Amino acid sequence: MSLTREDVRKIAFLARIRIADDELDSLAGELNNIIGWVEQLSKVDTDGVEPMTSVADMTLPKRVDAVTDGDVAEKVLANAPDREGDFYTVPKVVE
């Protein structure tokens, strides 16, 4: 399995990372090297082996249903690069 320019373009879009066209081939080469290298895992016999879900054998801790947070608009908005009043903003989305 080897990634083409087009595959790399698609993956880059999935990850929302702009890749210049002239970088696609070199990037495809790098990614293919890494993927080819990790594919050695296929040699391991994992029949009947459960995939690891968590390293620590713990049970999921739970919170009680109480309002203990929020109402910190200034804190959550303070770092916004393009804040408008108490809103975040993004380029207009047309639906």
Partner 1 sequence: MSELTRLTITQAAAKLDAGEVSAVELTDAHIAAMETSRGLNAFITETPEIARERATQSDARRAKGAAVGPMDGIPIAVKDLFCTEGVLTTAASHILDGFEPPYESTVSGKLRDAGAVMLGKTNLDEFAMGSSNITSYYKPVLNPWKGADGKDLVPGGSSGGSAAAVASGMAMAATGTDTGGSIRQPGSFCGIVGMKPTYGRCSRWGIVAFASSLDQAGPMTRSVEDAAIMLQAMAGHDPKDSTSAPMETPDFRAQLRDGAKGLRVGIPKEYTLDGMPAEIQALWDQGRQWLEDAGATCKEISLPHTEYALPCYYIVAPAEASSNLARYDGVRYGLRVDGGTLDEMYENTRGEGFGPEVRRRVMIGAYVLSAGYYDAYYVKAQKVRSLIARDFRQAFEDIDVVLAPTAPSAAFAIGEKMDDPIAMYLNDVFTVPASMAGLPAISVPAGLDGSGLPLGLQMIARPFDEVTLFRAAQALEDAAGFEAHPWREGA
Partner 2 sequence: MSYIIQGDTGDWEVVVGLEVHAQVVSEAKLFSGSSTAFGAEPNHQVSLIDAAMPGMLPVINEHCIEQAVKTGLGLKAKINLHSVFERKNYFYADLPQGYQISQYLHPIVGEGKVLLDLEGGKTAEIGIERLHMEQDAGKSMHDQDPRRSFIDLNRAGVCLMEIVSKPDIRSPEEAGAYLRKLRAILRYLGTCDGNMEEGSMRADVNVSVRHPGEELRTRAEIKNVNSVRFVMQAIEVEAARQVEVWETGGEVVQETRLFDSARGETRSMRAKEFAHDYRYFPDPDLLPLNLAPEYVDTLAATLPELPDEKKERFISEYGLSAYDAGVLVAEKKNADYFETVMLGGPEGKRGQRDAKSAVNWVTTNLFGALNAAGKDIADSSIAAGQLGELLDLIADDTISSRIAKEVFDVMFETGRSAGDIVEEKGLKQITDTGAIEAAVDEVIAANPEQADQVRSGNDKAIGWFVGQVMKATGGKANPQMVNQLLRDKLAG
Q: Does residue 23 bind partner 2 (CB under 8 A)?
A: no
Distance separating alpha carbons of residues 77 and 87, to the nearest angstrom: 8
Which CB atom, from 25 or from 35, has the smaller least distance to partner 1?
35
User: What are the tokens at 15?
Assistant: 């990850």
Report 54-83 residues binding partner 1 (CB under 8 A).
54-56, 58, 60-61, 63, 72, 75-76, 78-82
Q: Does residue 14 bind partner 2 (CB under 8 A)?
A: yes
Distance separating alpha carbons of residues 79 and 77, to the nearest angstrom: 6
Q: Mention every residue, 6+ apart, whose C-beta is less than 8 A from residue 11.
A: 3, 31
Q: Does residue 18 bind partner 2 (CB under 8 A)?
A: no
| DSSP letter, residue 53 | S
Q: Which residues of this chain interact with partner 2, rule CB under 8 A?
A: 10, 13-14, 16, 53-54, 58-73, 75-77, 82, 84-95
